[in-house]
Structure 1
Amino acid sequence: MNDLERESRKVEETIAKRIRSLRLEQNWTLEKLAEVTGLSKSYLSQIENHEKIPTISTLTKIAYALGENVQSFWNTEEDGKEKSKLTIVRAGERRSILHPGAASGYSYESVTYKKPDRLMDAYIVTLDSEVSKGPLMHEGQELVFMLEGRKEFIYDGQSHIVEAGDCLYFESDRPHQGRSLDGRPARFLAVFLNPRRLDEFGG
Protein backbone atom coordinates (compact mmCIF):
# COMPACT_ATOMS: atom_id res chain seq x y z
CA MET A 1 0.00 0.00 0.00
CA ASN A 2 1.52 3.33 -1.08
CA ASP A 3 1.22 6.69 0.70
CA LEU A 4 -1.77 7.80 -1.40
CA GLU A 5 -3.66 4.59 -0.66
CA ARG A 6 -2.89 4.89 3.06
CA GLU A 7 -4.07 8.49 3.13
CA SER A 8 -7.24 7.60 1.20
CA ARG A 9 -7.93 4.72 3.59
CA LYS A 10 -7.53 7.07 6.55
CA VAL A 11 -9.93 9.59 5.05
CA GLU A 12 -12.48 6.87 4.26
CA GLU A 13 -12.37 5.65 7.88
CA THR A 14 -12.80 9.23 9.09
CA ILE A 15 -15.86 9.65 6.86
CA ALA A 16 -17.48 6.47 8.23
CA LYS A 17 -16.95 7.54 11.85
CA ARG A 18 -18.09 11.10 11.21
CA ILE A 19 -21.36 10.04 9.58
CA ARG A 20 -22.20 7.80 12.53
CA SER A 21 -21.25 10.54 15.00
CA LEU A 22 -23.40 13.20 13.31
CA ARG A 23 -26.35 10.83 13.05
CA LEU A 24 -26.15 9.94 16.74
CA GLU A 25 -25.76 13.61 17.72
CA GLN A 26 -29.19 14.21 16.17
CA ASN A 27 -30.60 11.09 17.83
CA TRP A 28 -31.40 9.67 14.42
CA THR A 29 -31.72 5.96 13.79
CA LEU A 30 -30.46 4.41 10.59
CA GLU A 31 -34.10 4.08 9.59
CA LYS A 32 -34.59 7.84 9.94
CA LEU A 33 -31.49 8.66 7.89
CA ALA A 34 -32.57 6.14 5.26
CA GLU A 35 -36.01 7.75 5.07
CA VAL A 36 -34.61 11.26 4.61
CA THR A 37 -31.88 10.35 2.11
CA GLY A 38 -33.74 7.71 0.14
CA LEU A 39 -30.83 5.31 0.70
CA SER A 40 -31.36 1.85 2.16
CA LYS A 41 -30.73 1.16 5.85
CA SER A 42 -28.39 -1.72 4.99
CA TYR A 43 -26.32 0.46 2.64
CA LEU A 44 -26.01 3.20 5.27
CA SER A 45 -24.95 0.61 7.83
CA GLN A 46 -22.25 -0.66 5.47
CA ILE A 47 -20.99 2.90 4.99
CA GLU A 48 -20.81 3.53 8.74
CA ASN A 49 -18.98 0.25 9.24
CA HIS A 50 -16.53 1.07 6.45
CA GLU A 51 -17.72 -1.86 4.35
CA LYS A 52 -18.84 0.33 1.44
CA ILE A 53 -17.16 3.43 0.02
CA PRO A 54 -19.82 5.98 -1.00
CA THR A 55 -19.65 8.26 -3.99
CA ILE A 56 -19.49 12.03 -3.53
CA SER A 57 -23.12 12.18 -4.66
CA THR A 58 -24.14 9.78 -1.88
CA LEU A 59 -22.07 11.71 0.67
CA THR A 60 -23.78 14.89 -0.49
CA LYS A 61 -27.21 13.36 0.12
CA ILE A 62 -26.19 12.30 3.63
CA ALA A 63 -24.57 15.65 4.43
CA TYR A 64 -27.58 17.67 3.29
CA ALA A 65 -29.92 15.41 5.26
CA LEU A 66 -27.88 16.02 8.40
CA GLY A 67 -27.62 19.76 7.73
CA GLU A 68 -23.87 19.58 7.25
CA ASN A 69 -21.32 20.59 4.66
CA VAL A 70 -20.17 17.46 2.86
CA GLN A 71 -16.51 18.22 3.48
CA SER A 72 -17.12 18.24 7.23
CA PHE A 73 -17.04 14.44 6.91
CA TRP A 74 -13.27 14.44 6.43
CA ASN A 75 -12.06 17.76 7.81
CA THR A 76 -9.79 17.48 10.84
CA GLU A 77 -9.92 19.71 13.90
CA GLU A 78 -6.98 21.65 12.49
CA ASP A 79 -8.72 22.44 9.21
CA GLY A 80 -10.16 25.91 9.11
CA LYS A 81 -9.72 26.68 12.82
CA GLU A 82 -9.86 30.37 11.99
CA LYS A 83 -12.56 31.60 9.65
CA SER A 84 -10.83 33.58 6.94
CA LYS A 85 -12.12 35.70 4.10
CA LEU A 86 -9.49 34.06 1.87
CA THR A 87 -8.06 30.55 1.79
CA ILE A 88 -5.56 29.12 -0.70
CA VAL A 89 -5.11 25.43 -1.40
CA ARG A 90 -1.84 24.98 -3.27
CA ALA A 91 -1.50 22.31 -5.96
CA GLY A 92 0.37 20.05 -3.56
CA GLU A 93 -2.16 20.56 -0.76
CA ARG A 94 -5.20 19.06 -2.45
CA ARG A 95 -6.81 16.44 -0.24
CA SER A 96 -7.47 13.09 -1.89
CA ILE A 97 -10.94 11.94 -0.85
CA LEU A 98 -11.62 8.82 -2.89
CA HIS A 99 -8.85 7.08 -4.79
CA PRO A 100 -9.22 5.70 -8.33
CA GLY A 101 -11.47 2.66 -8.44
CA ALA A 102 -13.05 3.41 -5.09
CA ALA A 103 -16.33 4.72 -6.43
CA SER A 104 -17.39 4.00 -10.00
CA GLY A 105 -13.98 4.89 -11.43
CA TYR A 106 -13.92 8.39 -9.96
CA SER A 107 -11.20 9.96 -7.83
CA TYR A 108 -11.69 13.28 -6.03
CA GLU A 109 -9.29 15.93 -4.74
CA SER A 110 -10.83 18.56 -2.47
CA VAL A 111 -9.74 22.15 -3.13
CA THR A 112 -12.04 23.96 -0.68
CA TYR A 113 -11.57 22.04 2.58
CA LYS A 114 -9.72 24.88 4.33
CA LYS A 115 -12.75 27.17 4.61
CA PRO A 116 -15.22 25.88 7.25
CA ASP A 117 -18.02 28.36 6.49
CA ARG A 118 -18.02 27.78 2.72
CA LEU A 119 -21.23 27.62 0.70
CA MET A 120 -19.67 25.53 -2.07
CA ASP A 121 -17.67 22.30 -2.21
CA ALA A 122 -15.20 21.97 -5.09
CA TYR A 123 -13.14 19.04 -6.34
CA ILE A 124 -10.73 18.15 -9.10
CA VAL A 125 -12.30 14.93 -10.38
CA THR A 126 -10.67 12.26 -12.51
CA LEU A 127 -12.99 9.83 -14.28
CA ASP A 128 -10.89 6.78 -15.15
CA SER A 129 -13.63 4.35 -16.07
CA GLU A 130 -15.67 4.37 -19.26
CA VAL A 131 -18.58 3.00 -17.26
CA SER A 132 -20.29 5.12 -14.62
CA LYS A 133 -22.79 3.78 -12.13
CA GLY A 134 -25.85 5.87 -11.75
CA PRO A 135 -27.76 7.88 -12.41
CA LEU A 136 -27.06 10.19 -9.48
CA MET A 137 -29.48 12.62 -7.82
CA HIS A 138 -29.04 15.00 -4.89
CA GLU A 139 -30.10 18.44 -3.71
CA GLY A 140 -28.51 21.64 -4.91
CA GLN A 141 -26.81 22.84 -8.07
CA GLU A 142 -23.59 21.72 -9.70
CA LEU A 143 -21.01 23.23 -12.03
CA VAL A 144 -18.64 21.07 -14.07
CA PHE A 145 -15.73 22.64 -15.99
CA MET A 146 -13.87 20.21 -18.24
CA LEU A 147 -10.08 20.30 -17.89
CA GLU A 148 -8.90 17.31 -19.94
CA GLY A 149 -10.37 14.60 -22.13
CA ARG A 150 -13.90 14.04 -23.40
CA LYS A 151 -16.95 12.92 -21.48
CA GLU A 152 -20.49 11.86 -22.24
CA PHE A 153 -22.82 13.54 -19.79
CA ILE A 154 -26.36 12.20 -19.52
CA TYR A 155 -28.79 14.59 -17.85
CA ASP A 156 -32.44 13.74 -17.36
CA GLY A 157 -32.19 11.13 -20.11
CA GLN A 158 -30.45 13.34 -22.69
CA SER A 159 -26.86 12.75 -23.81
CA HIS A 160 -24.33 15.58 -24.19
CA ILE A 161 -20.68 15.28 -25.29
CA VAL A 162 -18.32 17.73 -23.57
CA GLU A 163 -14.57 18.27 -23.81
CA ALA A 164 -11.79 20.44 -22.38
CA GLY A 165 -12.95 24.04 -22.00
CA ASP A 166 -16.67 23.21 -21.89
CA CYS A 167 -18.74 24.09 -18.83
CA LEU A 168 -21.93 22.52 -17.48
CA TYR A 169 -24.24 24.08 -14.89
CA PHE A 170 -27.28 22.14 -13.76
CA GLU A 171 -29.84 21.35 -11.09
CA SER A 172 -28.57 18.25 -9.29
CA ASP A 173 -32.01 16.91 -8.36
CA ARG A 174 -32.44 15.43 -11.85
CA PRO A 175 -30.85 12.08 -12.83
CA HIS A 176 -27.31 12.60 -14.13
CA GLN A 177 -24.23 10.52 -14.85
CA GLY A 178 -21.14 10.54 -17.01
CA ARG A 179 -18.45 8.40 -18.60
CA SER A 180 -15.09 9.19 -20.17
CA LEU A 181 -14.63 8.68 -23.91
CA ASP A 182 -11.82 7.64 -26.27
CA GLY A 183 -10.33 5.23 -23.74
CA ARG A 184 -8.71 8.10 -21.83
CA PRO A 185 -9.45 9.60 -18.40
CA ALA A 186 -11.45 12.80 -18.20
CA ARG A 187 -10.53 15.47 -15.64
CA PHE A 188 -12.83 18.25 -14.55
CA LEU A 189 -13.54 20.76 -11.82
CA ALA A 190 -16.82 19.97 -10.04
CA VAL A 191 -18.44 22.57 -7.78
CA PHE A 192 -21.46 21.73 -5.60
CA LEU A 193 -23.78 24.31 -4.03
CA ASN A 194 -25.59 23.19 -0.88
CA PRO A 195 -28.93 25.07 -0.61
CA ARG A 196 -29.22 24.33 3.10
CA ARG A 197 -25.89 26.02 3.77
CA LEU A 198 -27.07 28.97 1.68
CA ASP A 199 -30.16 29.31 3.89
CA GLU A 200 -28.01 28.99 7.01
CA PHE A 201 -25.84 31.93 5.96
CA GLY A 202 -28.79 34.04 4.89
CA GLY A 203 -28.50 33.55 1.14
Structure 2
Amino acid sequence: MKDPEQKAKIINTEIANRIRELRNKKGLSLSKLAQKTGFAKSYLSQIENMKREPPISTLTKIAYAFGVDIMYLITGQKSEEEEEKFVIIKAHERKTVNKSEGSKEYQYQSITYKKKNRLMDGYILTAGFEFPSEPLNHEGEELVFMLEGKQEVIYDGKRYIAEEGDCFYFDSNRPHYARSIGNKKAKFLVVFCTKAKE
Protein backbone atom coordinates (compact mmCIF):
# COMPACT_ATOMS: atom_id res chain seq x y z
CA MET A 1 0.00 0.00 0.00
CA LYS A 2 1.43 3.37 -1.02
CA ASP A 3 1.88 6.11 1.57
CA PRO A 4 0.13 9.50 1.02
CA GLU A 5 3.34 11.11 -0.26
CA GLN A 6 3.84 8.40 -2.91
CA LYS A 7 0.19 8.68 -3.97
CA ALA A 8 0.52 12.46 -4.25
CA LYS A 9 3.66 12.05 -6.40
CA ILE A 10 1.82 9.68 -8.76
CA ILE A 11 -1.17 12.05 -9.02
CA ASN A 12 1.11 15.04 -9.69
CA THR A 13 2.98 13.11 -12.40
CA GLU A 14 -0.31 12.17 -14.08
CA ILE A 15 -1.55 15.77 -13.89
CA ALA A 16 1.70 17.08 -15.43
CA ASN A 17 1.48 14.50 -18.23
CA ARG A 18 -2.17 15.36 -18.98
CA ILE A 19 -1.37 19.08 -19.14
CA ARG A 20 1.49 18.45 -21.59
CA GLU A 21 -0.64 16.06 -23.69
CA LEU A 22 -3.54 18.52 -23.87
CA ARG A 23 -1.24 21.41 -24.74
CA ASN A 24 0.39 19.41 -27.55
CA LYS A 25 -2.97 18.07 -28.78
CA LYS A 26 -4.33 21.62 -29.01
CA GLY A 27 -1.14 22.84 -30.70
CA LEU A 28 -0.35 25.36 -27.98
CA SER A 29 3.15 26.46 -27.11
CA LEU A 30 3.96 27.21 -23.48
CA SER A 31 3.92 30.91 -24.44
CA LYS A 32 0.37 30.62 -25.83
CA LEU A 33 -0.82 28.73 -22.75
CA ALA A 34 0.81 31.41 -20.59
CA GLN A 35 -1.19 34.08 -22.48
CA LYS A 36 -4.44 32.13 -22.06
CA THR A 37 -3.97 31.48 -18.33
CA GLY A 38 -2.10 34.56 -17.18
CA PHE A 39 0.65 32.40 -15.65
CA ALA A 40 4.33 32.81 -16.47
CA LYS A 41 5.74 30.47 -19.13
CA SER A 42 8.45 29.37 -16.66
CA TYR A 43 5.83 28.48 -14.03
CA LEU A 44 3.86 26.34 -16.52
CA SER A 45 7.09 24.64 -17.59
CA GLN A 46 7.87 23.82 -13.94
CA ILE A 47 4.39 22.29 -13.55
CA GLU A 48 4.81 20.15 -16.68
CA ASN A 49 8.25 19.03 -15.50
CA MET A 50 6.97 18.25 -11.98
CA LYS A 51 9.17 20.88 -10.35
CA ARG A 52 6.13 22.75 -8.97
CA GLU A 53 2.92 21.30 -7.54
CA PRO A 54 0.01 23.43 -8.76
CA PRO A 55 -2.79 24.29 -6.35
CA ILE A 56 -6.39 23.48 -7.30
CA SER A 57 -7.06 27.12 -8.25
CA THR A 58 -4.21 26.98 -10.80
CA LEU A 59 -5.49 23.70 -12.23
CA THR A 60 -8.95 25.26 -12.55
CA LYS A 61 -7.55 28.07 -14.68
CA ILE A 62 -5.47 25.69 -16.84
CA ALA A 63 -8.50 23.42 -17.35
CA TYR A 64 -10.59 26.43 -18.40
CA ALA A 65 -7.91 27.47 -20.93
CA PHE A 66 -8.06 23.95 -22.43
CA GLY A 67 -11.86 23.86 -22.37
CA VAL A 68 -11.91 20.74 -20.17
CA ASP A 69 -13.22 19.97 -16.71
CA ILE A 70 -10.70 20.24 -13.88
CA MET A 71 -11.54 16.68 -12.80
CA TYR A 72 -10.18 15.47 -16.15
CA LEU A 73 -6.79 17.03 -15.32
CA ILE A 74 -6.83 15.35 -11.90
CA THR A 75 -8.35 11.94 -12.66
CA GLY A 76 -8.10 11.56 -16.44
CA GLN A 77 -11.81 10.71 -16.62
CA LYS A 78 -13.90 12.56 -19.16
CA SER A 79 -17.56 13.15 -18.45
CA GLU A 80 -19.85 12.15 -21.29
CA GLU A 81 -22.88 13.83 -19.76
CA GLU A 82 -24.65 16.56 -21.69
CA GLU A 83 -24.62 19.98 -20.13
CA GLU A 84 -27.43 20.40 -17.65
CA LYS A 85 -28.77 23.60 -16.15
CA PHE A 86 -29.18 22.00 -12.70
CA VAL A 87 -27.01 19.29 -11.19
CA ILE A 88 -26.92 17.69 -7.78
CA ILE A 89 -23.86 16.02 -6.33
CA LYS A 90 -24.76 13.66 -3.50
CA ALA A 91 -22.38 13.44 -0.53
CA HIS A 92 -21.17 9.99 -1.63
CA GLU A 93 -20.50 11.27 -5.19
CA ARG A 94 -17.88 13.84 -4.22
CA LYS A 95 -14.55 13.40 -6.00
CA THR A 96 -11.74 13.39 -3.45
CA VAL A 97 -8.17 14.48 -4.13
CA ASN A 98 -5.54 14.12 -1.42
CA LYS A 99 -2.46 16.30 -1.78
CA SER A 100 0.55 15.75 0.41
CA GLU A 101 3.74 17.77 0.67
CA GLY A 102 5.79 16.26 3.47
CA SER A 103 3.67 16.66 6.59
CA LYS A 104 1.49 19.25 4.88
CA GLU A 105 -1.65 17.36 3.95
CA TYR A 106 -4.73 18.71 2.20
CA GLN A 107 -7.88 16.97 1.08
CA TYR A 108 -10.11 18.48 -1.60
CA GLN A 109 -13.60 17.16 -2.31
CA SER A 110 -15.02 18.54 -5.56
CA ILE A 111 -18.69 19.48 -5.21
CA THR A 112 -19.23 21.16 -8.59
CA TYR A 113 -17.61 18.80 -11.11
CA LYS A 114 -20.86 17.69 -12.78
CA LYS A 115 -21.78 21.17 -14.04
CA LYS A 116 -20.26 21.96 -17.41
CA ASN A 117 -19.10 25.46 -18.43
CA ARG A 118 -19.40 26.66 -14.85
CA LEU A 119 -18.20 30.02 -13.59
CA MET A 120 -17.17 28.67 -10.19
CA ASP A 121 -15.41 25.64 -8.72
CA GLY A 122 -16.41 24.55 -5.24
CA TYR A 123 -14.61 22.22 -2.84
CA ILE A 124 -14.88 20.98 0.71
CA LEU A 125 -11.29 21.36 1.86
CA THR A 126 -9.56 19.92 4.91
CA ALA A 127 -6.26 21.64 5.72
CA GLY A 128 -3.17 20.32 7.48
CA PHE A 129 -1.46 21.91 10.46
CA GLU A 130 1.43 23.43 8.48
CA PHE A 131 1.47 26.23 5.94
CA PRO A 132 2.24 25.26 2.33
CA SER A 133 5.85 25.89 1.25
CA GLU A 134 4.77 28.83 -0.90
CA PRO A 135 1.78 31.17 -0.72
CA LEU A 136 -0.91 30.93 -3.39
CA ASN A 137 -1.37 33.79 -5.81
CA HIS A 138 -3.71 33.55 -8.82
CA GLU A 139 -6.29 35.56 -10.72
CA GLY A 140 -9.88 35.54 -9.56
CA GLU A 141 -11.79 35.61 -6.31
CA GLU A 142 -12.41 33.14 -3.48
CA LEU A 143 -15.18 32.64 -0.97
CA VAL A 144 -14.43 30.55 2.13
CA PHE A 145 -16.99 29.40 4.71
CA MET A 146 -15.68 27.65 7.83
CA LEU A 147 -17.51 24.38 8.54
CA GLU A 148 -15.40 22.96 11.39
CA GLY A 149 -12.33 23.84 13.40
CA LYS A 150 -10.16 26.91 13.28
CA GLN A 151 -7.57 28.17 10.83
CA GLU A 152 -4.87 30.77 10.65
CA VAL A 153 -5.03 32.71 7.39
CA ILE A 154 -2.26 34.93 6.02
CA TYR A 155 -3.49 37.29 3.31
CA ASP A 156 -1.14 39.83 1.73
CA GLY A 157 1.09 39.73 4.83
CA LYS A 158 -1.74 40.16 7.37
CA ARG A 159 -2.80 37.43 9.82
CA TYR A 160 -6.41 36.46 10.50
CA ILE A 161 -8.08 33.73 12.58
CA ALA A 162 -11.21 32.09 11.15
CA GLU A 163 -13.47 29.80 13.20
CA GLU A 164 -16.53 27.64 12.58
CA GLY A 165 -19.30 29.75 11.02
CA ASP A 166 -16.94 32.52 9.84
CA CYS A 167 -16.80 33.50 6.19
CA PHE A 168 -14.25 35.44 4.17
CA TYR A 169 -14.17 36.64 0.58
CA PHE A 170 -11.08 37.99 -1.15
CA ASP A 171 -9.26 38.80 -4.37
CA SER A 172 -6.97 35.82 -4.88
CA ASN A 173 -4.30 37.71 -6.84
CA ARG A 174 -2.55 38.60 -3.57
CA PRO A 175 -0.33 36.09 -1.69
CA HIS A 176 -2.41 33.93 0.64
CA TYR A 177 -2.23 30.66 2.53
CA ALA A 178 -3.76 28.99 5.57
CA ARG A 179 -3.32 26.16 8.05
CA SER A 180 -5.38 24.43 10.72
CA ILE A 181 -4.77 25.44 14.32
CA GLY A 182 -6.15 23.94 17.52
CA ASN A 183 -6.77 20.26 18.18
CA LYS A 184 -8.54 19.27 14.94
CA LYS A 185 -8.16 19.94 11.25
CA ALA A 186 -10.17 22.80 9.82
CA LYS A 187 -12.79 21.88 7.25
CA PHE A 188 -14.26 24.57 5.02
CA LEU A 189 -16.19 25.25 1.85
CA VAL A 190 -14.09 27.13 -0.70
CA VAL A 191 -15.41 28.51 -3.98
CA PHE A 192 -13.00 29.72 -6.68
CA CYS A 193 -14.06 32.02 -9.48
CA THR A 194 -11.25 32.44 -12.01
CA LYS A 195 -13.01 33.89 -15.04
CA ALA A 196 -12.35 37.55 -15.67
CA LYS A 197 -15.21 39.97 -15.11
CA GLU A 198 -16.89 41.03 -18.34
Any residues of structure 2 matched to 1:111-130 within 5 Å, and which?
111-130=111-130
Where does residue 133 of structure 1 map in the other structure? 133
User: Does residue 1:37 correspond to 2:39, yes or no?
Assistant: yes
Opposite residue 39 of structure 2, the aligned amino acid is T
Amino acid at match of 1:168: F
- The residue type equivalent to 1:58 in the other structure is T
Distance 1:6 1:92 in 2: 25
Are 2:152 and 1:152 aligned?
yes
2:49 alignment partner, SS class: helix
How big is the shift at 1:192?
0.5
CA distance in structure 2 between the aligned counterparts of 1:153 and 1:136, rounded to whole angstroms? 12
Deviations 1:91-138 (A, max 9, x none): 1111012x1525842111111111122111011101023333321111
- For 1:45, the aligned partner's letter is E
TM-score (normalizing by structure 1): 0.77
Q: Quick one: distance in 2 between partners of 1:194 and 1:42?
A: 21
Cα distance change, pair 22–190 in 1 and its aligned pair in 2 (3 A): same
Q: Which residue of 2 aligns with 1:25?
A: 25
**Percent identity (aligned):** 43
Aligned to 2:49: 46
Encode CA deviations 1:59-103: one digit per residue, 9 max, x unaligned: 2453455565544424623x2511112111111111012x15258
| Displacement after TM superposition at 1:174 (Å) | 1.0
Unaligned runs of 5+ in 1: none
Larger CA deviation: 136-145 vs 52-61: 52-61
Instruction: Give the whole-Å Cα distance in 2 for the aligned partners of 1:61 and 1:189.
Output: 19
Change (3 A) 1:73 1:81: same
More deviation, 123-132/61-70: 61-70
Instruction: Find runs of 4+ consecutive structure 1 residues off by over 4 angstroms.
Output: 4-14, 31-36, 64-69
Q: Is the 8 A contact 2:5 2:100 kept in 1?
A: no
Deviation at 1:13, TM superposition (A): 5.5
State the alpha-carbon separation in 2 of the partners of residues 167 and 62 from structure 1.
Answer: 27
Indicate conservation of the 8 Å contact 2:141/2:194, yes or no: yes
Distance 1:142 1:195, change over 3 A: same
5+ unaligned residues in a row in structure 2: which ranges? none
Q: Which residue of 1 aligns with 2:176?
A: 176
Q: CA deviation at 1:11?
A: 5.7
What SS is found at the alignment partner of 1:40?
A: helix
> How many aligned residue pairs are there?
192
Supply the AA of the counterpart residue of 2:100: G
Backbone CA RMSD of aligned residues: 3.1
Query: Distance in 1 between the 2:107 and 2:192 partners?
Result: 16
Q: Are the structure 2 counterparts of residues 11 and 27 from structure 1 closer, same or farther at C-alpha, using a change threshold of 3 Å? A: same
CA contact (8 A) 1:128 1:184 kept: no
The offset of 1:145, in angstroms, is 0.6
